[in-house]
Structures are given as structure tokens and as C-alpha cells.
Amino acid sequence: MSSWRTILLRIGDKCPEYNGNSDFKEHIEICYGVLRRELEYSGDDILPFLLQCAEQMPHKIPLYGTVVGLLNLENEEFVKNIVENCQTNLQMKRENDHDGAWISMISIGLANLACMHSVLLDSDFDEGDALDSGNCNRIRILMRFLAVLMCSKVIQPGSLVVVFETLLSSAATTVDEEKGNPSWQACADFYITCILSCLPWGGAELVEQVPEEIERVMVGVEAYLSIRRHISDIGLSFFEDDDDTERSPDEKDFLEDLWGRIQVLSSNGWKLESVPRPHLSFEAQLVAGRSHDFGPLSCPELPDPPSTLSSITCGKQRHDAELKYPQRIRRLNIFPANKIEHEAIQEVYWYSKAVSESLAILLLRVGDLQPIDRFIAEEYLLDVLFFFNGWASRKECASYMVGLPVPFRYEYLMAETIFSQLLLLPQPPFKPMYYTLVIIDLCKALPGAFPAVVAGAVRALFEKIADLDMECRTRLILWFSHHLSNFQFIWPWEEWAYVLDLPKWAPQRVFVQEVLEREVRLSYWDKVKQSIENAPALEELLPPKGGPSFKYSTEDGKERNEQHSLSLELSSMVKGKQVAREVISWVEESVIPVHGSEVALRVVAQTLLDIGSKSFTHLITVLERYGQVIAKICNDQDKQIMLIDEVSSYWKNSAQMTALTIDRMMGYRLISNFAIVKWVLSAENIEQFHTSDRPWEILRNAVSKTYNRISDLRKEISSLKKNLASAEVVAAKTKADLEAAESKLTLVDGEPVLGENPVRLKRLKSSAERAKEEEASVRESLEAKEALLARALNENEALFLALYKNFSNVLMERLPDTSQAGTLRGLKTIQAADEMAVDLEESSTMDVDNENGRPQKSQTNGGKENIGYNVGEKEQWCLSTLGYVKAFSRQYASEIWLYIEKLDAEVLTEDVHPLFRKAVYAGLRRPINEG
């Protein structure tokens, strides 16, 4: 690979290419020298590569901007092309639009530079038209790059101000109720965030060079903030209590918070250490360069307001806007701002037992950061996470995350940022597995510090687990069990042994139980038992060790009956490789007439499950070969529910195999999603809603599989529509060619004849017929897929209506009257209030019930000092179920909004319990006062 590519990629890194030096000025001089020599020969390659490096390693943008500024002194035309390309990437539409390909260039791994170079040559990374396509990350990064180019005298400061004012004008118009569409405030907020996020990189220069213009922008931003609607985190907050608690009028949303940080930065004279300013070392040279104009931009037009304004029509548009312009981060705030050094030392001690006190004191606390420093560090961390998400770039991701260009320690902030992304609602930007791997790599990269910080984060979240959103709780369980499996399952379980003294429904106890169950899935029972040897009593929370529970087993000397004989006979038929048709005949002729259909179902299900129990592959083989037998017997919903009962009974010792088997049976259409919903919400299973994830996992899988089918159909239809358009073009062209050929006059034996050469005419006719057949075939496939989609959407609508009706019914039976619990906080305190009333009645005669002479007390959070949990079982059941209702509503909000009118009419009626309505509305981010 050419050395200039390596030099560009590695600028700012302590690496051999720069002689192991970390001085930014020397790096810039070396990079500039190499590029200046290569411009004559490789200018066409350098320009796109340099832009891609700047876009995909944005924490190095100040370095790239300074290099461009120096190149501007030597080759103004080259730099002018860079500026024009930046504008093109922001605004002008490109023909080649490889969605997401531009992200991959750096992500494939800096270690393999030759491979990366080949990808660069083979792919078009210019997505183009970032503004119109709503590519939030690209818009934000390009804006930052423009600010840095302005600092290096490459573009006029006035041009950048014009860009700011364009975005500001669009934002102000959007939130104007008369001229705009306030439902799309998410887009307007994003534009203002882009403006403010540029200022740490270019605010000082703008104030120095165009003070009046930038002051006008700041006044405009302040005016915008005064007319926009304050954004509530309803439905998206990490902790349930956040949605119930009365918010302070002074509490800020993300944009208001960023504005406050920028104001503090401005009052400090725009002085900060978190953003490198290497251009200052070359200022005497850069002023001699010619600044280029950056042409005007135009913001895309947003959808018109609904013709009929209502909570539903506006809510749908608001949901679409928030999907397209999501808030990048929601701060988790799990570490207290006043965390003292002693606590940091303790975290390190508990995890590694080997770190020095001096190192622990060096760990930075979040509270020590200046306001803007936190925002900048979060930007760096989120950028690295975004651009290095490829499987081959994990090590590079960890390397860059621990080497950010900031002058302070940030381990706690880094952990909090990663966890905020892992738990981000409604969905994390990437699969949770990615964050798991990043945390593992960071623990290995910073073995003396980061493992202790992660342990502290786990402890902090564990203390708040009762209030943690149910979806976040599930993700935390999956992450933590996987994380421990990569570190030999080592954890000081003795710290949490007290959960055994809590009720079985206490969230902390359930959390430990579910983590241990997931660990068994990732390892084996004896290994996990060995890992808790310091807290052997926790074995009580381990899942059962036994394997399958076969009703017709003959190994334990059980008494045999006729059903045992039937099972043995069926087993012999399967081993004899008799086909499904023969087994069906045997069931219909020999089993059902004598023993009934229920016995037949039980024998077939139990026997086939036992034959397929050796491995997942065995199960798939059995279902593929004999699924027709099951389908023949389970021909209605009631029978399918009985089948699920048999699966649950057979795998009662393994939640994993129960979920896998039911999921596969649904995949083979042996079980319907309606049957699964009805089974999960049956009396037996709802008793587990607050003590186990088992029924919820099965329900999640069923709804997810239904949704995925619809998503796949939509993708196939989109692809077919493109194919049909192409086929229509080809068919029209071949038809036109044929007609043109047929209309020509040719001389045959001296006489004029209509038509061209017969051979060519025949070929054209054949081509036209093939094109027409291809068009018809694609059109037929499209119509078939559209019919399937319509049917799937109808099924999905019925599924969600059935799901919410069932949820409403079971909750109405258990939720207390609204006079007792109109809020979640009120629901949590019902038992405590009852106990207090009893205490007041009996206070005069209360007996001393412990050796210290004080009555026993309990504590809501299940803390270590008072290990009680004073939320009653019935109340905890309601809290857990409402939490899952909100989680389902949030995850499938895009689908539910399609059916919201029916949901309002059939489920969310006036009679529905307010807490159920609130849970659904919170998931849809629909204000409760719109109901």
C-alpha cells in the first residue's frame, strides 16, 4: 500500500509511521510533506480518501483540517475540490448510493490496510445528499469538518454562518404552528444540535472573525429554544420512576442542556482543553492561504401537517420524525457526581484485589468534568462506537476509545456512555453483542482500571434494579451473564447472597436468578455452581440440573401403561424410518379411535420431543420429517395450546429448550402466534410474570417472529418493485425496437416490403416476448408478495389487538382501584402504607421483636442493611406486567400506530385502568392527556 494512505490513517496515533512520537505538530508536518509530494501523482485518490478519513475518524478532524489548510497554500484547486466535495456530500444527489457502504471503509480494520485500500477502490462511499436523506451522523460530522476548515482559513467564516442560519431558519419554521409542522420538531432540534455541536471546534474563531454574525446565530438559537416544545423522556427513560415523578420546571432536556453548556463555554471565552487546536501552531502560515466560499444549502421540505389535526395523526408524524432524527444519547447517570476516591478504591479492590491506592485515586469521577468537556468526550466516544462497529475493527475501537485527545481520565464517563448505548430505548444503535465485545476489549486494554469501573456500574444498576425499565433489565441480564462467561464467571457473589432473604418476587432476587440461568445456558450447571462457591446458598437460585422430563420414560422403574406402549411403538416406527404418512395412518386408525385425540397428541408430542432431545439438530430433523404428524393432530388453536403444554412439561427443567422448541414449531407453522399468546396469558403462566423471564421470552420470540415476517415481505416487495421498474423499461425498449423494425420499408426482389431483415425481426420478436414474460413474471411475484403482506398485516393487527385485550383483562383483575394507586409510585407504596397503618394502630402495644430493642423495618430497594422488600407480591406482579406492556408498545410502536384507531376503540376505552392506558401510551410516546 502507498505510504501516504498509512500516514493519513495513522495521523495522531503513537505508531512507527510517526517514529513513535505523539506530538501533533510533528504529525501534521510529516503528513503534509508526504501529501504535498504525492498530489501530482495521486491527487484523484488522495481527495476522497482524505475526506473519508475525516468523516470516519472524526476525533482526528482538527488534524485533517490543519493538513488541508497547509495544502491550501500549495494547491488551491485541490483544496477547492475538497470544499466542493463537502458541499456535494451534504446536498447534491449522487447517482450511486450504496447505503451504509461509506461507514465500512475504516471499520474493516486499520490493521489490514491493504484490504481496506481494496475496499476503497471497489466501493463508492459517497452517499450524497445527507440533508435530504436525513443521514444524521454524516450531517453532524461534515458540519464539524466545515468548522475546522474555517479555523484553518480554508473556508470563509461568513459561509459557515450562512449554513448555520439556513438550519436555524428551517428549525424555526418547522416549530411554527402556522407556517410549519411542529410534529417534526425532532428534525428542528437536530439542526440546532448540529449548530451548537460545531461551536467547541470553531466558536472561538467565529467570535474573533465575525462576532456580530455569530451573535446573531446565538440570539436565534435562544429564540428557537423559547418557542419549541420541551421534550419529555416519557417512555424512553431508563428508570420507571422517571415517568411518574413530577418534573421540575427547571429540568432540561438534551438540547436545553447542550445550550447551557455552550453558554458556559462562551462565558469562559471559548477556552477548553478537550478539543485539540493544532492550527494555532501554523497560524502564521495559514493566514496566507486563500479562503474558499461554501455555497448555500437548502433544507429538505418536511411533510405537511395532517389535514385533520388530532392526537393520532400528529402522534403518527411525531413518531416518524423521532425515528428519522433520533436523540443520539440519553445519559444514564449511574455514578454519583460526588463519588469520593475511597469508593473508587473499593471498586478496584473488589474486582482485582491488586490495584494500588494511587491508581484508584487517578480514576476520574464524572463530577470533576467541566460542562462542555462531558459533551465533547461523549461525542468522541459515540463517534468511535459508530464508525468502528465492524467485526474486524473491535481492537481498533478499544484502542481509540482509551486514547481520546482529552487531558483528563474518563473511565467512568466511558463506562456510563457505553451502558447508556447498550440500554438505549427504544433500540440501541447496534446489536447488544457489539457493546459486550467492546466492554470485554476495554477490560483487557485497561486491566488496572476499567474492570473496576464496570463492576461499579453493575453494582449501581443492581441497587436501582427495582426501578429499571423492564426492557433495560432484560438487556442488562443478557449482557452481564455473557460478560461473566468471558471472565471465568468470576464475581463476588457473596455481596448479593442477601437476596435469598428477599421475597421470591423481589427484583434483585429475580435478577440474580435470571443471570445464573443465562450463565448455565452459556456453560454448564456444575461450572456455574462452582463459580458461586463463595455464596453456596445461591445454589437455590440455579435452574434445575436435570435434563428432559419424558412422561413415558422406562429407566426409573416407572409403572408402564398403554400410553407407554404406544410411545414405544411410535419410537420404533421413527427408528424404522417410516414416513410421516404412515405414522399419520397409524395415529388415525389405531390411537385416536381407541384412546382419543388428547392421548394421541400427548404420546406423539412427548415421543417426538424425546427423539429430538439429543441436540438442536436432532430436533430440527424430527420436526422436518414428522411435522406433518403434529400438524394433523394439532389442527386448531386449543390443540396447539395443548402441544405447547407438552413442550413446557417435557422441558420444564430448561427454559432455553422450551423457548427454542416453541420458536421452531412456530417457524414450521405447527403452532400459531395466537396460540402462544393465549398460552402465555393462561392462568398457570401469568403467575410467573413477576418471578421468571420464561413466559416473557416465549412471548417476545412469537411477536418478534411475526414482525420479522412482515419486515422480510416489505423488503422483498421493495426489491420486486425495483425489478419490475427495470423489467418495464426493458420491455418498453424491446417493444419499441420491434415496432421500429416492423415499420421500416425494405426492398425484396425490387419490390418495397414492410418490415426489416426477417432474421433480425425474428430476434427482436423473441427478445420482446422474453422481456414481456419477464415483466409478467415479476409483476405476478409482486402481486403474490403484496397479497401475503396484506394477509400478514391483517394477522398482525389481530395479534396485537388480542395481545392487548388479554393484557387489559388480566391487569384489570389484579390492579387496585385508582383511588389506591393512580401512579406507579402509588402502586409501589400500597403495602408500605398498609403496614404503616397497622403500626400506628398497634404502636402503643408493639412488642420489641429484635435483640436491639427496635421493631424490624424494611426497605424498598432491598438494600444490605435492611434486607426487606416492602412491595407486595400482587403489586410487584402488576409492576412487572405493566413494564412489559410498555416495552412491547415501545418496541413495536411503528406497527401499533397503524392500528391505533382500533386499539383505542376496542381496548383503550373509558373503562380501561388508567395505569394500563398509561403504560401503552408511554411505550408509544403518546401524552396521557391525549387519551
Amino acid at 208: E
- Cα radius of gyration (the chain): 33
Residues 6+ apart with CB under 8 A from 707: 796, 892, 895
Q: What is the mean pLDDT of the chain?
A: 85
Q: Is 50 exceeded by the pLDDT of residue 847?
A: no
Cis peptide bond prior to 429, omega within 30° of 0: no
Residues in the chain: 931
- Mean pLDDT in residue range 10-21: 78
As a whole number, mean pLDDT of residues 722-737 equals: 91
How is residue 622 written as a grid cell?
Answer: 424430527
Whole-number Å distance between alpha carbons of 650 and 604: 12
Closest CA relative to residue 219, chosen from 157, 158, 172: 172
**685 neighbors 679 (Cβ within 8 angstroms):** yes
The whole-number average pLDDT for the span 744-763 is 66
> What are the φ and ψ backbone dihedral angles of 840, each rounded to 5 degrees?
-65, -40
Place 92 in a pLDDT band, splitting at 50, 70 and 90: low
Beta bridge partners of 239: 468
Grid cell of 11 as nine digits: 495521523
Confidence of residue 355 (pLDDT cuts 50, 70, 90): very low
Neighbours of 298 (CB within 10 A): 10
829 or 831: which leads in pLDDT: 829
Q: Is the pLDDT of residue 189 over 60?
A: yes
Question: Among residues 193, 200, 148, 149, which one has the least CA distance to residue 377?
Answer: 200
Give the pLDDT band of residue 222 (cuts 50, 70, 90). Answer: very high
| CA–CA distance, 689 with 505 (Å, rounded to integer) | 9
What is d(CA 191, CA 139) in angstroms, rounded to the nearest whole number?
9
> Is the pLDDT at 195 greater than 80, yes or no?
yes
Whether the per-residue pLDDT at 446 is higher than 80: the answer is: yes
The percent of residues above 90 in pLDDT, for the chain, comes to 67
> What does residue 852 show for φ and ψ, rounded to 5 degrees?
-90, 0
795 grid coordinates: 394477522
- Please state, in angstroms and rounded to a whole number, the distance separating the CA atoms of residues 341 and 668: 57
Helices then strands (H, E): number in the chain? Answer: 42, 2
Question: Can you tell me which residue has the cell 460542562?
Answer: 371
Kindly state the cell numbers that stand for 419: 451502558
Per-residue pLDDT at 347? 38
- Could you tell me the end-to-end alpha-carbon distance of the chain, in angstroms, rounded to an integer? 63
Q: Which of 274-283, 467-476, 822-831, 901-910 has the lowest mean pLDDT?
A: 822-831
Q: Give the per-residue SS3 of 697-722.
A: HHHHHHHHHHHHHHHHHHHHHHHHHH
3-class secondary structure, 688: coil
Give the contacts of 99 (CB within 8 A, at least 6 positions apart): 127
Tell the burial category of 597 from Cβ atoms under 10 Å away from its Cβ (0-12, 13-18, 19+). middle
Give the pLDDT of residue 864.
Answer: 47
Rounded Cα–Cα distance for residues 261 and 370 (Å): 9
Check pLDDT > 80 for residue 868: no
**What is the full DSSP assignment across 581-603?**
HHHHHHIIIIIHHHH-HHHHHHH
pLDDT score at 817: 85
pLDDT at 557 over 70: no
Residue 803: the pLDDT is 95
From CA 20, how far away is CA 646, in angstroms rounded?
65
Q: Is the pLDDT of residue 599 over 60?
A: yes
Q: How confident is the model at residue 450 (pLDDT cuts 50, 70, 90)?
A: very high
Q: Which residues contact 891 (CB under 8 A, 6 or more apart)?
A: 426, 427, 471, 923
Q: Do 475 and 434 contact (CB within 8 A), yes or no?
A: no
User: Locate cell 389506591: which residue?
Assistant: 820
What percentage of the chain has pLDDT greater than the value 70? 84
Smallest CA-to-CA distance from 494 within 864, 827, 754 is with 864
Cα 685 from chain centroid? 29
Q: How many CB atoms lie within 10 A of CB 609?
A: 23
Q: Would you tell me how many other CB atoms lie within 10 Å of the CB of residue 415? A: 25
CA angle 335, 336, 339 (to 5 degrees): 100
Task: State the Cα–Cα distance between residues 895 and 808, nearest whole angstrom.
Answer: 19
Identify any residues that bridge with 292 across adjacent strands, giving them in sequence order: 155
Q: Bigger pLDDT: 405 or 195?
A: 195
List the grid coordinates of 32.
503534509
User: How far, in Å, CA of 862 to CA of 359, rounded?
Assistant: 32
State how far the Cα of 731 lies from the Cα of 738, in Å rounded to an integer. 11
Question: Contact 258/140 with Cβ under 8 angstroms?
Answer: no
Which pLDDT does position 14 carry in this prediction?
79
Identity at 355, one-letter amino acid code: V
Report yes or no: 420 and 385 within 8 Å, Cβ to Cβ.
no
Which three-class secondary structure state does DSSP give residue 613?
Answer: coil
- Is residue 383 within 8 A of residue 328, CB to CB? The reply is no
Q: pLDDT tens-digit profile of 670-691?
A: 999 999 999 999 988 999 999 9
Q: Which three cell numbers stand for residue 393?
A: 475493527
Spatial distance between the Cα atoms of 786 and 95, rounded to a whole number of angstroms: 28
Q: Give residue 1's pLDDT.
A: 42
3 state SS of 847: coil
Residue 468: phi and psi, rounded to 5, are -70, 135
Of the pLDDT bands very low, low, confident and very high (cuts 50, 70, 90), residue 463 is very high
- CA dist., res. 751 & res. 814, Å (int): 96
**Reduced to 3 states, what is the DSSP secondary structure of residue 77?**
helix
For the segment 215-231, the average pLDDT, to the nearest whole number, is 94
Count of CB atoms situated within 10 Å of the CB of 138: 20
CA distance 489 to 535: 13
Do residues 885 and 854 touch, judged by C-beta distance below 8 A? Answer: no
Task: Give the containing element (helix H, strand E) for 752.
Answer: strand 751-754
Q: CA 898 to CA 707: how far, in whole Å? A: 13
Dihedrals φ, ψ of 752, to 5°? Answer: -70, 130
In angstroms, the CA 811 to CA 912 distance is 10
- Closest C-alpha to 333, from 202, 433, 238: 238
Cα→Cα distances 180→215, 319, 327, 474, Å: 25, 17, 21, 40
pLDDT at 108 over 90: no
d(CA 610, CA 622): 10
Spatial contact of 277 and 203, defined as CB atoms under 8 Å apart: no
Give the pLDDT confidence score for residue 761 in this predicted structure. 78
